[in-house]
A and B are shown apart, each in its own frame.
Chain A
Amino acid sequence: MSAVEELASQAPAVQAVPKRAMTLSSGTAFVVVLLLLIVPLFAKNFVIFQLTQLLYYGLAVLALNILTGGSGQFSLGQSAFYAIGAYTSAILMEQYDVNYALTLPIAGIICFAAGFLFGQPALRLSGVYLALATFALATAMPQLLKLGFFEKWTGGVQGQVVTKPDAPFGLPMSQDMWLYYFTLAVTIAIYIFSVNLLRSRSGRAFMAIRDNEIAASAMGINVSLYKTLAFGVSAGITGVAGGLGAIAVQFVAPDSFTITLAIQLFLGMVVGGVGWLPGSFIGAAFIIFVPNIAESISKGLSGAVFGVLLFLVIFLVPHGARQVAMVGQQLLERARKR
């Protein structure tokens, strides 16, 4: 029995999550969206900027969540797709004068193609081997972006500065606020798409593959097609997130998309709860805010403080924010019964 087969027959690393448990109830969702709409009106510019960050990092984590939580495949290479998306948006905006909103679908399509193609060879691998292959992609990407051959477009190591868009139709809003609402609209659209995708026939196929690949193929699911499709969709969403990130940060450079970013996204997914889509945004909040908290505790030891906090989270709530949410829900129900 080869090592790969051994892995396949073992209990899956990703817990099977019923699709109902993957989303929020409509009431909670309504409250969250309302909060996201109102809060920026009363917040400082800096908070708006951080919320924008939260949204596009959340999207990138969501994409990984579809791949890992949905179809059970690991990836440490999301930073590569994020980089492709960011560069696509930046280059189209700055060198070809394409409207920023139009660059996002293009970034998504290019990344979908990249992800789909990468999914082909990745089919032969699973579990940790697949994680390692995607890891290679993430380490290679910053260097590919520095290549002299692409320098005409990428700006090489110097990177590329991106102009921030103004609010359209003369709306009385700051650039940051407009960008926030724009990002929010894109995020909600992609979130709804993702929820529907996972509830659709394709989503069921993803989950069947995740739970038991052999049984899924016996049921007539085209395993290779759906596995690569999951890779493609995940990469496509990551690309859109990357494009949004480039517009918000106003700058792309190879050093922005190192392996650290891929690990952060992976971390965000685990902390948010694998397979729980709303958790992606909680995970994103963790990777954005906790390093800042760690820094405010100790500047010299910020890395160590972050490590301790992360350890505590994983130790106390191994299933991340999903576990917290479920415990909270149970408590509520118990309170109601009394």
Chain B
Amino acid sequence: MNLSPILRIAAFATAVIALTSGGALAQKKYDAGASDSEIKIGNIMPYSGAASAFGVIGKTEEAYFKKINAEGGINGRKISFISYDDAYSPPKAVEQIHKLVEDDEVLLVFNPLGTPSNSAIQKYLNAKEIPQLFVASGASKWNAPSSFPWTMGWQPSYQGEGRIYAKYLLKEKPDAKIGVLFQNDDFGKDYLKGLKDALGEKADAMIVAEESYETSEPSVDTHIVKLKASGADVFFSVTTPKFAAQAIKKLAEIDWHPMHLLVSISASVGSVIQPAGYENSQGILSAAYDKDAADPQWNNDPGMKKFTEFLQQYYPDGNKLDSSTIYGYGAAQTLVKVLQMCGDDLTRANVMKQAASLRDFQPDTLLPGIRINTTADDFAPIQQLRMMRFKGQNWELFGDIMSGEMER
């Protein structure tokens, strides 16, 4: 054979490439932020500013990854969790995301909190093809795999929960006259949209009054008086904790006793029901997807026992009655599951692929029967909720697990 030197080198090079790439398929694959020893995960949280109460979520997640590392990491790799403060300000979130991606070079961004901050970073992360995984916001727009294939939500969407209340009403009280009190922002409007969508053609007839309030208003009393005057017999309270408690008190004060539906984010016993008074709160209806640490029925639940042990050992400052610790635990556990499923292929594309292939996964803190399922065209991990009624000093779950999915 009389090959020229150049040809010979080319042939050799081809052989080398063929051999190594063939081997690499079975071997480890990494994108920036992952290596044999480490997986870098970025996060932004409002540790300061108006929404700083949610900072507990970030701290819980940090503690949970500490636990995973202490137990040997994920397939031998330690998680390094880099979490920055965005003070709930979208421009600050953009700055911190640039830092995480370009300076710290994280593999993925996990559970960034807040609808405005996530809206601000969504386009950037999708253009850079970096996973924006398990967004901590209940807006429905995170489930759009065709236009934003790198963004995925986690908790049930506000719209989905609104649809569940509509389904309940259509079944139990089809002639209801609904009066809605909602916060005038994306959160309030999403719930209202879910309710209306699921009521369908009957929405106009069933909803007799809508009152919106601004978060800057000192009290919602006047709105409630107006709703009572409208003759409504169902009161749908789309409120954040402070206003939810005001509404419960005012209802008792003016002696109005409609069927009271309260959205899940204000269903906290500690921050809403107790201040509003147990006697005023009897019979209120709400929905839940995770367990309530204040509820004695979970005292012997293996999942909640693991959760309590985790708090004691890794996050002793954490309050188990704070729903944010339960939330952070569940979200972090879901991410660990996804990373375990990734195996040795820690590329961003594979992270999204595995995140979209969750089958009946059940974090310790979710209610029995509620499971996480995702597919390539369903980026909404938790879609189920169970209705509950307040009785005595606790919520009592009742009925079947309901899905907030749109019926197609």
List which B95-116 residues lie within 8 A (CB) of chain A.
95, 98-99, 101-103, 115-116
Taking CB atoms, residues of chain B closer than 8 Å to A44 are 102-103
Taking CB atoms, residues of chain B closer than 8 Å to A299 are 47, 83, 85
Find the B residue at minimum CB distance from A147.
Answer: B184
Decide: A260 and B119 in contact? CB cutoff 8 A.
no
Decide: A159 and B185 in contact? CB cutoff 8 A.
no
Taking CB atoms, residues of chain B closer than 8 Å to A178 are none
How many residues of chain A get a CB closer than 8 Å to chain B's CBs? 29
Taking CB atoms, residues of chain A closer than 8 Å to B122 are 161
Decide: A143 and B90 in contact? CB cutoff 8 A.
no
Taking CB atoms, residues of chain A closer than 8 Å to B99 are 46
Decide: B184 and A251 in contact? CB cutoff 8 A.
no
- Decide yes or no whether A300 CB sits under 8 A from chain B: yes
Find the B residue at minimum CB distance from A303.
Answer: B48
Query: CA A256 – CA B86 in complex, angstroms?
Result: 11
Decide: B119 and A161 in contact? CB cutoff 8 A.
yes
Decide: A53 and B120 in contact? CB cutoff 8 A.
no
Decide: A256 and B48 in contact? CB cutoff 8 A.
no
- Decide yes or no whether A245 CB sits under 8 A from chain B: yes
- Decide yes or no whether B146 CB sits under 8 A from chain A: no
List which A234-276 residues lie within 8 A (CB) of chain B.
245, 249-251, 253, 255-256, 258, 260
Decide: A255 and B116 in contact? CB cutoff 8 A.
yes
- Decide yes or no whether B84 CB sits under 8 A from chain A: yes
- Decide yes or no whether B338 CB sits under 8 A from chain A: no
- Decide yes or no whether B216 CB sits under 8 A from chain A: yes
Decide: A302 and B102 in contact? CB cutoff 8 A.
no
Task: Tell me whether chain B's interface is mostly helix, strand or loop, or mixed.
Answer: helix
Given contacts A146-B184, A245-B91, A253-B90, contact A45 B102 (CB under 8 A): yes
Taking CB atoms, residues of chain B closer than 8 Å to A53 are 95
Chain B interface bracket (under 10, 10 to 19, 20 to 34, 35 or more) = 20 to 34
Query: CA A258 – CA B216 in complex, angstroms?
Result: 13
- Decide yes or no whether A50 CB sits under 8 A from chain B: yes
Q: How far is the CB of A94 from chain B (nearest CB, A)?
A: 12
Q: How far is the CB of B406 from chain A (nearest CB, A)?
A: 20
Partner of A49, one of B85, B98, B123: B98
- Residues 31-74 of chain B, each 1 if its beta carbon lies under 8 Å from chain A, else 0: 00000000000000001110000000000000000000000000
Query: CA A245 – CA B116 in complex, angstroms?
Result: 16
- Decide yes or no whether A158 CB sits under 8 A from chain B: yes
- Residues 174-187 of chain B, each 1 if its beta carbon lies under 8 Å from chain A, else 0: 00000000001110
- Decide yes or no whether B142 CB sits under 8 A from chain A: no
Q: How far is the CB of A44 from chain B (nearest CB, A)?
A: 6
Which 7 pairs, one residue from A and one from B, show the smallest C-beta to C-beta distance? A46-B102, A251-B120, A157-B185, A46-B103, A45-B102, A157-B186, A256-B90
27 sample A-B contacts, Cβ–Cβ < 8 Å, listed by A number: A44-B102, A45-B98, A45-B102, A46-B102, A49-B95, A49-B102, A50-B98, A146-B184, A157-B116, A158-B186, A250-B94, A251-B90, A251-B119, A251-B120, A253-B90, A253-B116, A253-B119, A255-B116, A256-B89, A256-B91, A256-B116, A258-B89, A288-B95, A295-B47, A299-B85, A300-B47, A302-B48
- A residues near B (Cβ < 8 Å) are 44-46, 49-50, 53, 143, 146, 156-159, 161, 245, 249-251, 253, 255-256, 258, 260, 288, 291, 295, 299-300, 302-303
